[in-house]
Amino acid sequence: MSDKRARKYFENMPYGDDAKSSEVHGKANQQIINNMIEGLVSKYDEAMMVGDKAMAGNYSSAIKQISKDLDNLKELKKEFAVNYGGGTGGKNMFSNYTNLKEFDIPFWLEGGTVSFDQSLRPILTVPNANDPKNTIEKRIEDVTENWVVKGSEEADFMKMQQDAVRQKNTSGKPLNFDVDFAIDNLLHNNDAWKIFVSDKVGGRYFLQDYLIENQDKIKSGEITDDMLHPDSFNPNFDTRLHKYFSNRIKKSFDSTYMSPEELSAVKGNKKDEITKQTFNESVHHENDLKVIKQEGLNTDSVDSSAMVDQMLEKRLNREAVIDTEDKTKA
């Protein structure tokens, strides 16, 4: 189901606010709903005719419950349409964290089926695009459980970052707020971490930066696939998301700031450089010993300073010969 088709549908809703709740899910579903209601009304009439008010009351309650359920479902469709882009400005307010293509878009574009269980409560069904032989079913109360709608999260973060930038030139004074405390509250507020892990915040995607920064660990398998799933960054048990956004604030205040991980990496690089230098020196030393022995120098009876002097003298003589040969050829 393409986004273009979905946007076109919601921008030109075929039903108005005055449409019946049974009409907004397509003609096929309207027929299913009407048949159910007509059957219950018929049963109600039969019960009243024989004076069974208790049974008639049960049928009446069922009709009212179905009407209430369908009204709620109609409101959900309106809410989805507005959040998806049918409202002011046509901006999609759903976070990338929300999987809309699996159930929501097919169902709301009249590609699903409304049926009823033994308790006469609606069951919403759509074909499973990943497994055509099966379907995906939901109750009305389950429809919104995975919806993540963007609110003021990005604006709140940007305000925090701008405050850090404004205080940047204040010599010798720390930030007037606790960055880690503020970020922790921001991520946990209404599960906003789902937005911070999946959407662009301040012009940058966390996941994109994380993948680039850790590409070597991902290739080596140190960071496994399950560690890249959005749910793995839940701040209730993982600190990567918190560190990323708190570091962005701290760097806005102090461009020289380095996180403990960055400091460790720098130290590691320096250690690697020292190791590499030591290795190269060792190689050069081994080569020098080979040259010394090849040139007939006695490494046993001659002291170290004398040995070095002899080696340098022979090298200078050899280089002088090579230089003379080059000039002759020229």
CA pair distance 304, 190, nearest whole angstrom? 73
Look at residue 319 and tell me whether its pLDDT is greater than 80: no
138 and 211 part of one domain: no
Q: Is residue 265 part of a domain?
A: yes
Q: What would the pLDDT profile of 171-217 be if each residue is shown by its tens digit?
A: 678 889 999 999 999 999 999 999 999 999 999 999 999 999 999 99
213 and 231 part of one domain: yes
CA pair distance 157, 154, nearest whole angstrom? 5
For residues 121-146, give the mean pLDDT: 94
Question: Which range is least confidently modeled, 145-149, 169-173, 281-285, 326-330?
Answer: 281-285
DSSP state of 50: T
Q: Is residue 51 part of a domain?
A: yes
Q: What would the pLDDT profile of 242-265 be if each residue is shown by its tens digit?
A: 999 999 999 999 888 887 777 777
Q: Is residue 221 part of a domain?
A: yes
CA pair distance 52, 45, nearest whole angstrom? 10
CA pair distance 310, 304, nearest whole angstrom? 10
Q: Is residue 242 part of a domain?
A: yes
CA pair distance 295, 310, nearest whole angstrom? 10
For residues 11-32, give the mean pLDDT: 88
52 and 89 part of one domain: yes
94 and 67 part of one domain: yes
In this predicted model, which residue has the larger pLDDT, 283 or 7?
A: 7
Confidence of residue 231 (pLDDT cuts 50, 70, 90): very high
18 and 130 part of one domain: yes
236 and 265 part of one domain: no
For residues 216-245, give the mean pLDDT: 94
138 and 13 part of one domain: yes
89 and 101 part of one domain: yes
Which parts of 88-192 fold into alpha helices (H)?
104-106, 153-166, 179-188
Question: Which range is least confidently modeled, 30-44, 67-81, 277-291?
Answer: 277-291
Q: Is residue 147 part of a domain?
A: no
Q: Is the overall model pTM greater than 0.95, yes or no?
A: no
168 and 282 part of one domain: no
Q: Is residue 32 part of a domain?
A: yes
Tell me how many domains the chain contains: 4
Cα 54 to chain centroid, rounded:
54
Question: Which range is least confidently modeled, 82-91, 94-103, 229-238, 293-302?
Answer: 293-302
CA pair distance 260, 320, nearest whole angstrom? 53
Q: Point out the domain boundary residue: 123, 142, 161.
A: 142
- Range of 303's domain? 295-330
State the pLDDT at residue 326: 59
Question: Which residues does residue 122 pair with via DSSP β-bridges, in sequence order?
Answer: 116
CA pair distance 186, 177, nearest whole angstrom? 13
Confidence of residue 300 (pLDDT cuts 50, 70, 90): very low
Q: Is residue 148 part of a domain?
A: no
- Please, what is the average pLDDT of the chain? 83
31 and 122 part of one domain: yes
Nearest of 110, 61, 47 to residue 81 by alpha carbon:
110
| Count of CB atoms situated within 10 Å of the CB of 143 | 20
24 and 129 part of one domain: yes
Look at residue 271 and tell me whether its pLDDT is greater than 60: no
9 and 138 part of one domain: yes
Q: Would you say 123 and 115 are in contact if contact means Cβ atoms under 8 Å apart? A: yes
Look at residue 5 and tell me whether its pLDDT is greater than 90: no
| Amino acid, res. 266 | V
